[in-house]
Amino acid sequence: MRDITQLDPVALRTLAVAVRLGTFEAAARELHVTPSAVSQRIKALETRIGRVLLHRVKPLEPTEAGLVLVRLATQTEILEREAVAELVEEADEDGTTYTSLPIAVNADALYGWFVDALAEVQSRHRVVFEVIREDHTRTAERLRRGEVVAAITGEPKPVPGCRVVRLGRLRYAAVATREFHATHFADGVGSASLAEAPIVAFDRNDSLQHDYIRRVTRRHLAPPVTYLPSVREFDRAIRVGMGWGLLPESDVAHELDRGSMVELVPGRRPEVALFWQHWRLGSSLVSELTDAVVGAARGWMAS
C-alpha cells in the first residue's frame, strides 16, 4: 500500500491556491514562483498520492481526490494561523497573525444580519473574512469544493466532513406596488396574468419567484424578468413598480398594512429553511462564529 501519511505542506498549499485562482500562472504570481514550479509541486503530490488531482483545463478543475486535499490544505492553514494568532500578542506589520475565514452566504442573510455575527467574533479575535455571496441553493457546493469553511445553505443534509446547525425559516411575501397590481392583476392572479406580469429576480440562480408561480398555478411559466444582483436595488425595483417579487415579510409588513404595497395572494407566504454548515475543524474560531451566527439569526428568522 502506498504511504501517503507524509504530505508536503508546500505542495498542498500550492494545490489549494491553484484551484482557487484557476490557473498555474495565477497561482505562481501569488506564491512568487514560476508556473513550472507550481506544476512540478502538484505533479510530485500526484505521484505521492498515486492519483490525478487536477483536470488541466481553464479554470483548473480538481478531481474528487483533489478536493479532499484542497480541504485538507485549507483546514491546515486555518488551524496554523489560529494557533499563531493565539501565541503572538501583537500582529506583525504584514498582518500574518490574522486568521482568514472564507464563508459562503446568501444575499438576504448577508444584507440583513450576518455582518453583525462577523463583527461580534472580530471584536474578540484576530480574524478577517472572505465572504462569498451565493444563492442558498448553491453554497453547499462551495463547501464540497473546499472553497469555504462554512456556509449558510438550504441543504439540511451535511456535506461530508461538516456539521449542520438549523438557523430557522425566512418567510417571504410576494408583493407589488398598488399601481402595478392594478395594471397587471386587475382580473386576478392566475396563469394568464402571471405569465405576462414582469418579475424582478436577484440573478439567474434566484428561483424564488418562479417557484412561487409554480405553487400558485401548478404550471411552468416564463414571465419577463429584470435581474438586479443587489439586495438594495432588487428591493427598490419592486417598490418603484418595475415588477413583482418576493421580499422578506418583515421588510414589507408596514407597507402591506398601509396599503401602499399589495400581496399577490394574501396569506400565501413561502418559507425557506436555512442551515449553517461548517467543517469539523476543532477550531475555536469556527465554534465562536457558529454561536454568533445562530444568535444573530435568532432575531431575524422564525424557528
DSSP string, the chain: ----SS--HHHHHHHHHHHHHSSHHHHHHHHTS-HHHHHHHHHHHHHHHTS--EE-SSS-EE-HHHHHHHHHHHHHHHHHHHHHHHH-SS--TT-TTSEEEEEEE-HHHIIIIIHHHHHHHHTTSSEEEEEEE--TTTHHHHHHTTS-SEEEES--SPPTTEEEEEEEEEEEEEEEEHHHHHHH-TT-SSHHHHHHS-EEESSTT--HHHHHHHHHHSS-----EEE--SHHHHHHHHHTTS-BEEEEHHHHHHHHHHTSEEESSTT---EEEEEEEEE----HHHHHHHHHHHHHHHTTSB-
* Bond before 59 cis per omega within 30 degrees: yes
pLDDT of residue 281: 81
Whether the per-residue pLDDT at 235 is higher than 50: the answer is yes
Whether the per-residue pLDDT at 217 is higher than 90: the answer is yes
Could you tell me the three cell numbers for 9? Answer: 505542506
Query: For 250, phi and psi rounded to 5 degrees?
Result: -65, -25
Residue 92 pLDDT class (50, 70, 90 cuts): low
Question: Would the pTM of this model clear 0.85, i.e. be above it?
Answer: no
Structure confidence by residue, pLDDT tens digits, 117-164: 999 999 998 899 999 999 999 999 988 888 899 999 999 999 988 999
pLDDT of residue 96: 56
Contact 171, 197 (CB under 8 A): no
Whether the per-residue pLDDT at 2 is higher than 80: the answer is no
Indicate the range of 110-114, 143-147, 218-222, 248-252 predicted with least confidence: 143-147
CA 23, 35, 45, 11 dihedral sign is negative
Query: For 283, phi and psi rounded to 5 degrees?
Result: -100, 125
Contact 163, 280 (CB under 8 A): yes
Higher-confidence position of 67 and 233: 233
Residue 91 pLDDT class (50, 70, 90 cuts): very low
Whether the per-residue pLDDT at 214 is higher than 90: the answer is yes
Average pLDDT, the chain: 90
pLDDT of residue 283: 86
Mean pLDDT value of segment 2-25 = 85
pLDDT of residue 289: 97
Residue 5 pLDDT class (50, 70, 90 cuts): low
pLDDT of residue 303: 77
pLDDT of residue 282: 79
Whether the per-residue pLDDT at 6 is higher than 80: the answer is no
Q: Cα 51 to the chain's mean position, in Å?
A: 30
